[in-house]
């Protein structure tokens, strides 16, 4: 590690430097949530002033922070050990709402620095937990226009008619035409208040979106197919290419600025320098009998069974320039990952229009 350029953590606008001293391995116990704690081998140094409100009380200071109720048990820990350790090491008292009750965690202590330290450690617990969860929502450009759905169904029928014997190819791995979309970015939202904030952030973006589009829908052409990996004989995702009819980069600019906004708002993690705009038409995750969501654990989880790739060489040769059709794109959607509405599309948590 370059000691002059240590890794940084951004928590609620505050930047912390991680100084790695040593690493130790511990054997995990069943139902032991202490692994969510900041490792003892890391120290944190504040780089900016606190952004939380610290209330002066008779015996010291008090600070309240919003934490999703789903995360309470990881802050409490097995038999309350994590909370007790936090309280002991920071010389504070940490009050957590009852299980299932949305509210604020309140930290009190004699010294403001002690309360601040406890708040920071709680935020790290929440941040570590969030990173371990599958995403719950996503921003997207819907492509389920009737003309595109019709073109997709023709594509599906022709591919299956001509290449059904190709390795790994079957009907179950094709996208549901009602769910055709281009993903912009994913979010892990753990409470109703976080969903509400995401919806508000999306509304805030409407002005710059309309400035880019001139307040009009964007005419798009959906034509051509490509694959994600380097070997066309072992493909997991096949996607349709999407471009603006006028050749402009407006769609790319909107997508990139949306990601930038949500990253700054700390509701999204940047994965790439630019959003890769694509409309998935085949994905082996859809395969019948493949890994599925588990109901246990509160949030949806994926099993770890290996995906079976398919041979896309003949499809690429026969349909590489396939024209799915044109549409007038007029919406950015915030959608819930694990549910669908009455039309079959993902359940909407909010949207904004271009016009």
Kindly report the number of other CB atoms within 10 A of residue 287's CB atom.
Answer: 17
Cα 130 → chain centroid: 10
Q: pLDDT averaged over the chain?
A: 86
Q: Is 240 helix (H, G, I), strand (E, B) or coil?
A: strand
333 and 140 in contact (C-beta within 8 Å)? Answer: yes
What pLDDT shows up at residue 41?
38
CATH of 137-353 among 3.90.1140.10, 3.30.70.20, 3.90.800.10, 3.90.1720.10: 3.90.1140.10
Phi and psi of 19, rounded to 5°?
-105, 110
Q: Which two tokens stand for residue 226?
A: 């490509």
What are the domain boundaries of the chain?
8-131, 137-353
Cβ within 8 Å of residue 78, ≥6 positions away: 29, 31, 32, 33, 34
Label residues 192-219 b or e (16+ Cβ within 10 Å = b): eebbebbbebbeebeeebeebbeeeebe
Of 112, 123, 111, give the one whose Cα is nearest residue 36: 123
Q: Are 262 and 254 in contact (CB under 8 A)?
A: no
The whole-number pLDDT of residue 318 equals 97
CATH topology of domain 8-131: Ribosomal Protein S8; Chain: A, domain 1 (3.30.1370)
- In the chain, which residues have pLDDT < 70? 1-50, 290-305
Contacts of 71 by beta carbon, 8 Å cutoff, 6+ apart: 125, 126, 129, 130, 190
Q: Answer whether 282's CB lies under 8 Å from 311's CB.
A: no
Could you tell me the two tokens for 252?
């790319």
Work out the burial of residue 332: count CB atoms within 10 Å of its CB; fewer than 13 is exposed, 13-18 middle, 19 or more buried.
buried
pTM for the full model?
A: 0.77
């Amino acid at each position: 590690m370059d000691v002059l350029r240590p890794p940084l953590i951004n928590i609620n606008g505050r930047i912390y430097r991680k100084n790695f001293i040593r690493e130790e391995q511990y054997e995990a116990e069943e139902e032991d949530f202490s692994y969510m704690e900041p490792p003892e081998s890391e120290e944190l140094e504040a780089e900016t002033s606190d952004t939380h409100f610290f209330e002066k009380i008779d015996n010291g200071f008090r600070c309240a922070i919003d934490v999703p109720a789903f995360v309470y048990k990881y802050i409490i820990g097995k038999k309350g050990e994590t909370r007790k350790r936090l309280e002991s090491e920071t010389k504070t008292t940490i009050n957590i709402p009852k299980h299932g009750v949305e509210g604020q965690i309140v930290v009190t202590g004699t010294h403001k620095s002690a309360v601040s330290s406890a708040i920071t450690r709680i935020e790290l617990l929440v941040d570590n937990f969030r990173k371990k969860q599958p995403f719950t929502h996503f921003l997207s450009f819907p492509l389920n226009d009737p003309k595109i759905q019709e073109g997709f169904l023709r594509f599906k029928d022709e591919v299956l008619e001509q290449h059904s014997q190709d390795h790994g190819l079957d009907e179950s791995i094709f996208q549901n035409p009602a769910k055709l979309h281009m993903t912009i970015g994913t979010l892990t939202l753990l409470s109703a208040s976080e969903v509400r904030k995401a919806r508000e952030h999306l509304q805030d973006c409407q002005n710059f979106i309309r400035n880019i589009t001139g307040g009009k829908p964007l005419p798009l052409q959906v034509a051509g197919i490509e694959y994600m990996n380097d070997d066309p004989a072992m493909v997991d995702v096949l996607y349709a290419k999407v471009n603006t009819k006028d050749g402009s980069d407006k769609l790319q600019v909107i997508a990139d600025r949306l990601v930038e906004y949500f990253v700054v708002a700390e509701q999204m993690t940047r994965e790439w320098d630019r959003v890769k705009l694509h409309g998935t038409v085949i994905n082996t995750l859809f395969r019948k009998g493949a890994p599925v969501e588990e109901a246990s654990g509160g949030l949806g989880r994926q099993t770890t069974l290996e995906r079976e790739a398919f041979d896309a060489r003949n499809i690429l040769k026969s349909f590489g320039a396939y024209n799915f059709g044109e549409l007038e794109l007029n919406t950015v959607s915030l959608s819930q990952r694990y549910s669908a509405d009455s039309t079959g599309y993902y359940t909407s948590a909010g949207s904004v229009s271009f016009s």
